[in-house]
């Protein structure tokens, strides 16, 4: 029989660098894990998602950018970074204490989410808060009534491609979604309601935020159904409670680099840079006048 050589896979430094994609806050501080996830540490002090959360994208900005960015955009970013999402893969315990049966002691219940990771693929679909669960799992052998050794395990969400329809944009889209997202959309009676009702923290995807921005802009500018005025009014009336001014709607869910570019462009429009030759000319005239008066 032919021998097959087993090559153990050892990633090079370059490959490890490619793996640096996501902010995984749970595992990076424990060096003894049997699987380690390379992730990036954030040097910027101050605002940051807490130790128990993982997110597919972040908002960070420097003190220089803080000056030019609009206040409502910064507030929405801060809300995203600090708000706790709805529990999806875990159930918070309503009781205050739990009792140990053996000793009869009472301990306070600590409600902490289990480690769920949202990869960057989240941003291209609607996962409805589902993510990848990392942990250890002990399996029990039913035949031998014995516990098998505990081993690391990953629980993946199941994705399916579905055609979704947006009433405001009048557009059919094939999007990767989970069963939970599908259920939530059905509960809200349509994609538009689901995206407009749900908070950015629970949507947890860039695609959803892009759609939200487009919908709100269409509502604010009344640019929906331009050829059908009857339907236009009907749809506008249906989603009237979500309408916000167009200046705010433009900024919703923008990635930070785009927002900064936009803010800089606005800044230049408002305060156009003055050419230096004008400044020097004024200065020269002033100096000449001074010298003339002195003589």
Partner 1 sequence: MAVAVKLLRGCCHCGSLSRTSLAAKELLSRTAVGSVVLQTRNNTRIMERVYPLPVGKDGGRPDRSQMNELYKILREVEIVKYPEEIQCILTDFVEGVGIRGDVVTVKRDFFHEELFPAGMAVYASPDNIEEFEEERKAKGIDKAETRLGVFARMTMKELSNMHLEIPLSDSSDWTLCKRHVQVAFRIQGVEVEEDCLELPEEAVTEFQDVTINVWINGLESVPVSATIVPISEKFPPTKK
If phi > 0 it is left, if psi is from -120 to 50 it is alpha, else beta; for residue 45 that is beta
Tell me how far apart the alpha carbons of residues 281 and 286 are, in angstroms, rounded to a whole number. 9
- Which structure tokens are listed for 57? 């994208």
Instruction: Tell me which of 72, 74, 89, 262 binds partner 1, using CB under 8 A.
Output: 89
| E strand map for the chain | 97-99, 106-108, 116-117, 132-137, 140-141, 146-147, 151-155, 160-166, 171-177
* Shortest separation between residue 158's beta carbon and partner 1, angstroms: 4
User: According to the binding rule CB under 8 A, does residue 279 interact with partner 1?
Assistant: no
User: According to the binding rule CB under 8 A, does residue 155 interact with partner 1?
Assistant: yes
User: According to the binding rule CB under 8 A, does residue 96 interact with partner 1?
Assistant: no
- The neighbour count for residue 248, using CB atoms within 10 Å, is 14
User: According to the binding rule CB under 8 A, does residue 70 interact with partner 1?
Assistant: no
x/- letters, 171..210, toward partner 1 (CB under 8 A) = -x-----xxx-xx--x--xx--------------------
Helix (H, G, I), strand (E, B) or coil at 172: strand
**Whether the Cβ atoms of residue 192 and residue 168 lie closer than 8 Å to each other:** yes
Between 161 and 277, whose beta carbon lies closer to partner 1?
Answer: 161
Residue ranges in contact with partner 1 by CB under 8 A: 1-2, 4, 6, 9, 11, 15, 18-19, 21-22, 29-30, 32-33, 35, 37, 51-52, 88-91, 98, 107-110, 112, 114-115, 117, 119-121, 130, 132-138, 150, 153-156, 158, 160, 162-163, 165, 172, 178-180, 182-183, 186, 189-190, 238
């Amino acid at each position: 029989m032919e021998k097959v050589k087993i090559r153990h896979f050892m990633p090079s430094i370059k490959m490890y660098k490619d793996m640096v994609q996501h902010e995984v806050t749970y595992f990076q501080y424990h060096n003894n894990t049997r699987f380690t996830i390379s992730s990036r540490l954030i040097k910027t002090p101050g605002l940051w998602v807490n130790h128990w959360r993982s997110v597919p994208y972040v908002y960070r900005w420097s003190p220089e950018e803080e000056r030019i960015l609009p206040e409502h955009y910064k507030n929405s970013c801060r809300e995203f970074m600090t708000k706790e999402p709805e529990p999806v893969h875990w159930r918070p315990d309503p009781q205050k204490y739990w009792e140990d049966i053996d000793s009869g002691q009472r301990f306070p219940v600590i409600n902490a989410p289990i480690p769920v990771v949202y990869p960057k693929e989240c941003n291209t679909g609607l996962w409805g808060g589902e993510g990848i669960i990392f942990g250890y799992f002990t399996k029990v052998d039913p035949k031998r009534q014995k516990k098998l050794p505990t081993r690391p395990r990953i629980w993946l969400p199941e994705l399916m491609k579905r055609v979704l329809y947006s009433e405001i944009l009048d557009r059919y889209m094939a999007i990767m979604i989970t069963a939970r997202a599908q259920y939530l959309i059905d509960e809200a009676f349509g994609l538009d309601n689901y995206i407009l009702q749900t908070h950015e923290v629970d949507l947890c995807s860039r695609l959803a935020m892009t759609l939200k921005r487009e919908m709100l802009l269409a509502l604010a500018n009344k640019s929906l159904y331009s050829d059908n005025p009857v339907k236009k009014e009907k749809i506008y009336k249906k989603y009237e409670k979500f309408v916000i001014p167009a200046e705010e709607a433009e900024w919703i869910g923008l990635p930070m680099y785009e927002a900064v570019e936009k803010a800089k462009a606005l800044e230049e429009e408002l305060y156009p840079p003055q050419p230096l030759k004008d400044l020097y000319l004024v200065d020269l005239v002033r100096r000449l006048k001074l010298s003339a008066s002195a003589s």
